[in-house]
Amino acid sequence: MTMPIAPPKIEPPSADKRWRLVDNTMRKHGYRPDALIEALHTMQECFGYLDEPGLKFVARSLRLPLSKVFGVATFYHFFTLKPKGRHTCVVCMGTACYIKGAQNILDEIEKTYGVKPGETTRDDALSVLTARCIGSCGLAAAVVVDGNILGKVTPAQTLEHLEKVVKT
């Protein structure tokens, strides 16, 4: 661990106040390089995804090469470099959900909305994602729509719910 040093004066990409939160996280860690993942978490929480100007801001603030910052941001599944749609649907693909037909749910969503996991519909209405396991195995098969977990769902129930959500 390096000693805390005077904070570098790096200008955030825009006047958006949310950058202050990202800066706070880095300051809390004394702008040490090990604050990288924490800073990326804050940035994604604030903006929904990681964009290039933001990654450059974090890289300069922590005195890290941009390549390293990109390397970390793309290594971990939790981070996304693409903006999400207005609604998100995360299909849990953990073992318990898989055994109970999660693949069929994904297939049906793909058929209906024409998007594969990791993609967003053209009208930006819906992003479809998969999760390794959301830890709600007792509720398999589970789907998370806009942060709400739907347990023990069938492909038909999922589609019905999505239709309601996406329309609003």
- How many Å is the Cα radius of gyration of the chain? 19
Smallest distance, other proteins to C-beta of residue 20, A: 20
Among 136, 161, 165, 166, binds other proteins (CB under 8 A): 136
Could you give the 3-state DSSP secondary structure of residue 102? helix
Quickly tell me which residue has 């693909």 as its tokens: 93
Could you give the 3-state DSSP secondary structure of residue 115? coil
Regarding 65 and contact with other proteins (CB under 8 A), the answer is no
Smallest distance, other proteins to C-beta of residue 84, A: 15
Quickly tell me which residue has 């749910």 as its tokens: 105
Pairing of strands 126-131, 87-92: parallel
Among 59, 93, 106, 109, binds other proteins (CB under 8 A): 93
Among 33, 83, 114, 118, binds other proteins (CB under 8 A): 33
Among 27, 79, 108, 125, binds other proteins (CB under 8 A): 79
Nearer to other proteins, 143 or 162 (CB): 143
**Residues in Cβ contact with 12 at an 8 Å cutoff, skipping those fewer than 6 apart:** 19, 20, 22, 23, 57
Alpha carbon distance 68, 66 (integer Å): 5
Among 22, 36, 59, 105, binds other proteins (CB under 8 A): 36
Binding site for other proteins (CB under 8 A): 1, 32-38, 40-41, 62, 68, 71-72, 75-79, 93-96, 98-100, 131-140, 142, 148-149, 151
